[in-house]
Amino acid sequence: MICRSLVFVTSVVILLLTDNAYLAAQHRLEGEQLKRSRINFDQGWQFHKGDIAIKRAVKAGKQGGLTDADVKVVTGEEAVIAYTDKNKVADYKPGDWENVNLPHDWLVGEPFLHDDNIGSQPAGNGYRQPGIGFYRKEFEIPEGDEGKRISIVFDGIFRNSTVWVNGHLMGNHESGYLPSFYDLTDVLRYGKEGKNVILVKVDATDFEGWWYEGCGIYRHVWLIKTGSLHVDQYGTFITTPVVAPGKATVNISTTLQNDYNVDRKFTLISRVFDKNGTVLSSQSSTQSIPTHGKLTITQQANVVSPQLWSPETPSLYKVRTEIVEKGITVDNYETIFGIRKVEITSNGFFLNGKLYPVKGTANHQDFAGVGVALPDKLNAYKLKLLKEMGSNGYRCAHHPPTPELLDMCDSIGMLVLDENRQLSSSVQGIEDLTTLIRRDRNHPAVFMWNLENEESLEGTVTGRRILETLVETAHQLDSTRPVTAAMNHGWDEGGYSDVLDVVGYNYGQRGMQYVKDHEQYPKRKMFVTESTSYVATRGEYEDNRGQGYVSNFGMGVGWGLQPGQDWKHIVQYPFLGGTFVWTGFDYRGEPTPYRWPCVSSHFGIMDLCGFPKDGYYAYKAAWTDTPLVHVFPHWNWPGKVGQKIMIRGYGNCEEVELFVNGKSVGRKKAEPFEYFEWEVVYHPGSLEARGYNGGRQVASQLIETTTAPEQVTLTSDVDHLNADGCDVAVVNVAIRDASGRVVPVANNLVRFSVEGDGRIIGSGNGDPSSHEPENTSQRSAFNGYCQVLVQSGKTTGEIRLKAVSETLVGATVILKVQ
């Protein structure tokens, strides 16, 4: 249809215009055809779990280097990956494949296996066996696209992926955390030539980390179409070398690629826009680029009275890049950036000229129900929860993040410590670091590069040499951001720290190492790259080795601190710059201090669903100005009537008073960033805490003994969804008594069903020892709560989610789809 329309328009032009005018109009049409497009390629894939025997072709056949006859499922059944000719599909058996949309993590649906040999260390990946899988997709390319450069970008595949298109081997990519790219132009079929088939092999049997890493194409896939003269991949680099109240200088570096067989003369236009779409500056450069060459052009613009980016005011700007030939735009490219000034000195972290300690958390990338295959909405949901707690910093632990997460951090205001996966100066190691920095260096949220985490070579001469090469590489690619390493030893050995801009301390409170080093090396720039490592299971108040639960009264692990105590050090020693608490959320794998039956960690301030643990309130009290008091445990202890119970709490008030069944048991002065405690005698009824500032009550919390579970309630984070097949509602499920109070020990099984164009994509309950399937339509509550994730289809209307549980009153939530 597109091609016929272009032919019709061209015919009209021939009739109405002179020869010269016709040529100009034809060139305009060509320009429109050559403009860049970025097409989401997530829909309509097929998945086959298990290996497929593929023979390596030694002679290209009619349809390419790999024929259908060369491809067999291990069982002996055929698994067609290419068309035998333009009109006929060979004996393709859909039963071999499952229809899926991306992102997709097949490991999250696998059963748990009590085998400590799985993963890089015992229990490391959460007792699920990774393996090999294949993805297949059929697609068409319009005839009018012939002549364009067409490439595919995989934002993340875990891991060791191999790609074929129409039987042609395109390449292999080992990293599970960095994007891979393939130019498909030469091997595609256009229009009437027939459909195209892409095949992706994913071999996740090896690992990169010591946590749950998933299996599959778990990030987005994009089809990129450009003309043969275009902006290179990650081809813009925008910096703000001068930031002042009245004016900011914006440097725009643009790298172009010429895929033509002749030199091309062009004009590069770069326009700077504010958030309202107003053009603030326009720069133009006319040059020539040689055949099959690259050219980098630097331009400079000024922004008057700039709006500075910060977590409180995340103001963003945009550069729109255009390549113009003979008056026609042949490529268009947009880059979001922010104007801010970051300085890390021996006195601390400064943002826009002010001391600004970073209130950060470290985070892996998984979530309840979906493994590592998070729809964009779930990344946004996690960031929202962190912001509500008062956090302004996010550490990508221990790997490069998905690009959309950085976009979100730019827009909501969250400083990011962007992290390289491994300490390696090999060809692959340098290539991976280069990709990371070129991809992410325009994000204002990214304030520092972290080159490694707790590598065994820290503090050694060999480690220093490798690190020095990585530091030099980072500085060449981006001289505007400092580099660090998250070290847990060897800070003052082997010259390792000397090659860093900022020395990172993981658990530097041990022996007060960072204070001693500050005294010994007063010019050293320092940052607490990791702290706390407090372990607790939400809603549990006694250690239970058999169940794998850890009490919220626990003393944590030997190398960590109590919640909030790490922030006390940042306040006392501002030269530390800030901290990243380990971790914002529980994550699959690395269960500590117990292994089986644990399958998830206990480190999170929140659990795997985002439900707060008690330690959450230590950070909210420290990081927000809202008066707060929080005490625990719950007040349902039928077997402990008349016995003494320890009460612990967190707050940011000057004094706290505790009431048991309406009677005061005393008022205490609260020490900032430390917990307070009482020992009281338990009798059913109520527990109330009141916080005072200047003798005036400013905060309170009431906990009551509940009756038996009576009803299920549903609370969605949104009341409407987009009809895009991607949007997600996070629906939190609570088990309540007749008075509407959450029953803190309830574990009722809840079953879910959906009416309308929507589907359940996963569920969770935050139980680190739960072995329930995550991709089914039921879930047991854990200590009063569970969660279900509902994804929209592509039809407007309503989605009705129903929840039922035996003996309990059910609930329904209605989601509008628009």
Q: pLDDT digit string (tens) for 151-197?
A: 999 999 999 999 999 989 999 999 999 999 999 999 999 999 989 99
Confidence of residue 494 (pLDDT cuts 50, 70, 90): very high
* Secondary structure letter of residue 190 according to DSSP: B
- By residue range, what is the domain housing residue 689? 637-704
Q: What is the pTM of this model?
A: 0.93
Are 192 and 304 within one domain? no
State the chain's mean pLDDT as an integer.
92
500 lies in the same domain as 560:
yes
In this structure, are strands 686-693 and 696-704 parallel, antiparallel, or unpaired? antiparallel
Total domains in the chain come to 6
**305 occurs within a structural domain:** yes
Confidence of residue 29 (pLDDT cuts 50, 70, 90): very low
CATH number of the structural domain spanning residue 800: 2.60.40.10
For the stretch 53-101, pLDDT in tens is 776 655 555 444 444 334 443 333 344 454 434 444 344 467 789 999 9
pLDDT at 559: 92
* Least confident stretch, 72-76, 572-576, 611-615, 766-770: 72-76
Specify whether 511 is located in the same domain as 408: yes
| C-alpha–C-alpha distance, residues 599 and 583, integer Å | 16
Residue 372 in tokens: 């590592």
* Position 620 in a domain: no
pLDDT at residue number 59:
56
Find the mean pLDDT for residues 590-598.
95
Residues 396 and 436 in one domain: yes
Buried/exposed 347-383: b ≥16 CB within 10 Å, e otherwise: ebbebbeeebbbbbbbbbbbbbbbbbbbbbbbbbbbb
Give the DSSP letter string of 483-535.
EEEEESS-TTSTTTGGG-SEEEEESTTGGGHHHHHHHH-TT--EEEEEEE---
Averaged pLDDT for residues 349-377: 98
Which tokens go with 161? 């992926």
Q: HSE-up of 445 (CA within 13 Å, CB side)?
A: 29
Q: Annotate 62-116 with three-state secondary structure.
A: CCECCCHHHEEECCCCECCCCCCCCCCCCCCCHHHCEEECCCCCHHHHCCCCCCC
375 contacts 103 by C-beta, under 8 angstroms? yes
User: What band does 15 get if pLDDT is binned at 50, 70 and 90?
Assistant: very low
Structural domain contains residue 52: yes
Report which residue type is found at 285. Answer: S
Crossing angle for the helix pair 616-623 and 376-389, to the nearest 10 degrees: 70
- 67/55 Cα distance (integer angstroms): 9
Residue where a domain stops, chosen among 226, 243, 278: 226
Whether residue 382 lies inside any domain: the answer is: no
Please provide residue 626's backbone torsions phi and psi, each rounded to the nearest 5 degrees: -70, 125
**How many angstroms separate the Cα of 241 from the Cα of each of 319, 339, 434, 525?**
16, 10, 22, 21
Distance CA 489, CA 480 (A): 27
- SS percent in the chain: helix, strand, coil, step 5: 15, 40, 45
| Same-domain status, 328 and 349 | no
Percent of the chain with pLDDT over 90: 89
Query: Is there a single domain that holds both residue 21 and residue 52?
Result: no
Average of per-residue pLDDT across 387-399: 98
Q: Are residues 263 and 281 in the same domain?
A: yes
Written as six digits, the tokens of 101 are: 């949309």
Residues 59, 44 contacting (CB under 8 angstroms): no
pLDDT at position 555 is 73
Task: Dump pLDDT digits (tens) for 524-558.
Answer: 999 999 999 999 999 999 999 999 999 999 877 88
> Averaged over 47-54, what is the pLDDT?
88
Q: Is residue 530 part of a domain?
A: yes
Q: Name the residue with tokens 């003052």.
A: 492
> Distance between alpha carbon 46 and the CA centroid of its chain, in Å?
24
Q: Over 70: is that where the pLDDT of 577 sits? A: yes
Question: Which residue in this structure is represented by tokens 């008091």?
Answer: 629
Helix ranges (DSSP H) in 343-375: none
In sign, the C-alpha dihedral spanning 755, 757, 758, 759 is: positive
pLDDT in the model for residue 257: 98
In a domain, 631, yes or no: no
Same domain, 559 and 606: yes
Same-domain status, 263 and 126: no
Query: Comparing 107 with 77, which gets the higher pLDDT?
Result: 107
Number of H helices and E strands in the chain, helices first, is 9, 48
Contact 205, 132 (CB under 8 A): yes
- Structure confidence at residue 91 (pLDDT): 41
pLDDT score of 31? 52
Question: Residue 583 carries which side chain, given as an amino acid letter?
Answer: T
pLDDT tens for each residue of 421-446: 999 999 999 999 999 999 999 999 99
The rounded distance, in Å, linking the Cα atoms of 701 and 635 is 13
Handedness of CA 605, 786, 213, 436 (dihedral sign): negative
pLDDT of residue 58: 55
CATH of the domain at 469: 3.20.20.80
pLDDT for position 72: 42
**How large is the average pLDDT for residues 495-513?**
97
Q: What are the strands of the beta sheet with 168-173, ordered from one edge?
A: 98-100, 45-49, 132-139, 196-203, 161-165, 168-173
Q: Domain boundary residue among 169, 198, 226?
A: 226
Task: Kindly tell me if the per-residue pLDDT of 11 is higher than 50.
Answer: no
H or E element at residue 22: helix 19-34
Please check whether residues 262 and 169 belong to one and the same domain: no
**CA-based torsion, 511, 513, 515, 517: positive or negative:** positive
Which of 180, 204, 226 terminates a domain? The answer is 226
pLDDT category, 712, cuts 50, 70, 90? Answer: very high
The confidence score (pLDDT) of residue 737 equals 98
Identify whether 377 is part of a domain. Answer: no
Question: For 718-744, how does the pLDDT look when each residue is reduced to its tens digit (9 = 90+)?
Answer: 999 999 999 999 999 999 999 999 999
Which distant-in-sequence residues (6+ apart) come within 8 Å of 171 by Cβ?
162, 163, 180, 182
Task: Round to whole Å and give the CA distance between 610 and 316.
Answer: 28
- Give kind and range of the element (H or E) at residue 167: none
d(CA 112, CA 122): 14
The verdict on 292 and 316 lying in the same domain is yes
Residue 813 lies in a domain: yes
Residues in the chain: 818
Residues 721, 700, single domain; the answer is no
Residue 545 neighbours by CB distance under 10 Å = 9
CA–CA gap between residue 105 and residue 215 (Å, rounded): 5
Instruction: Show which residues are catalytic.
Output: 454, 530
Task: Return the pLDDT at 83.
Answer: 41
Rg of the chain taking only CA atoms, in angstroms = 29
